[in-house]
Amino acid sequence: MIEVKKIAAGLAGWRGYAAAAVAGAVLVGCAAWTAQEWRYGAKVARMQADESGRVADAQRQAREILQRRHAEVAEINERNAKAEWAAYGGLRSAQTKDEGLRADVDAGRQRLHVAADCSAASGGVPEAGAGARVGNGARPELDPAARSAYFALRAGIQQLSAQLAACQARLP
């Protein structure tokens, strides 16, 4: 107890008031510091909430743009696939017809005729009398050796036409 009396006696003078003032200042400073921390913490929390809202909006906009781009690409791919199917589907159909025609010509069920005029005036066929009309009215036919070239030309024309149509279909 003697020590408590010494402390009480020491605090009774101006030193006591000074110590109490210092202790009070420390307490007020700590309280002010804590209040500032709360204010700044709330301010930082608001800033983080605002920033997270901006980030969420930016992500939503990016997703919408990405979805539109995917839809546009899907539409272009679908259009190209349809054009390619139409072009090359027609090519396959034409190839099938050509193969059937080639089989018919080879089997003799059809003949390939050439549009030609063999008049005597052109010097191609000498004029003969009325009795010498062998093959009159017959149509000139394609030589069997030239048939493969004919079918190759047909196939090339059809393939080129299909490729050109496919390229034109892809243009916007």
Share of the chain above pLDDT 90, in %: 19
Contact 112, 141 (CB under 8 A): yes
- In angstroms, rounded to a whole number, what is the distance separating the alpha carbons of residues 125 and 113? 19
Contact 83/170 with Cβ under 8 angstroms? yes
Sign of CA dihedral 139, 144, 149, 152: positive
Work out the average pLDDT over 116-144.
57
Q: What is the pTM of this model?
A: 0.37
pLDDT tens-digit profile of 33-44? 888 888 888 888
User: How far apart are alpha carbons 105 and 103 in whole angstroms?
Assistant: 6
Q: Each residue of 52-68: pLDDT tens digit?
A: 999 999 999 999 999 99
Q: Can you give the pLDDT at residue 63?
A: 95
Residues 96-109 have pLDDT tens digits of 888 888 888 888 88
Mean pLDDT for the chain? 78
Lowest mean pLDDT across 37-46, 107-116, 121-130? 121-130
What is the reported pLDDT for 68? Answer: 95
pLDDT for the residue numbered 72: 94
Residue 78 has pLDDT above 80, yes or no: yes
75 residue type, one letter: E
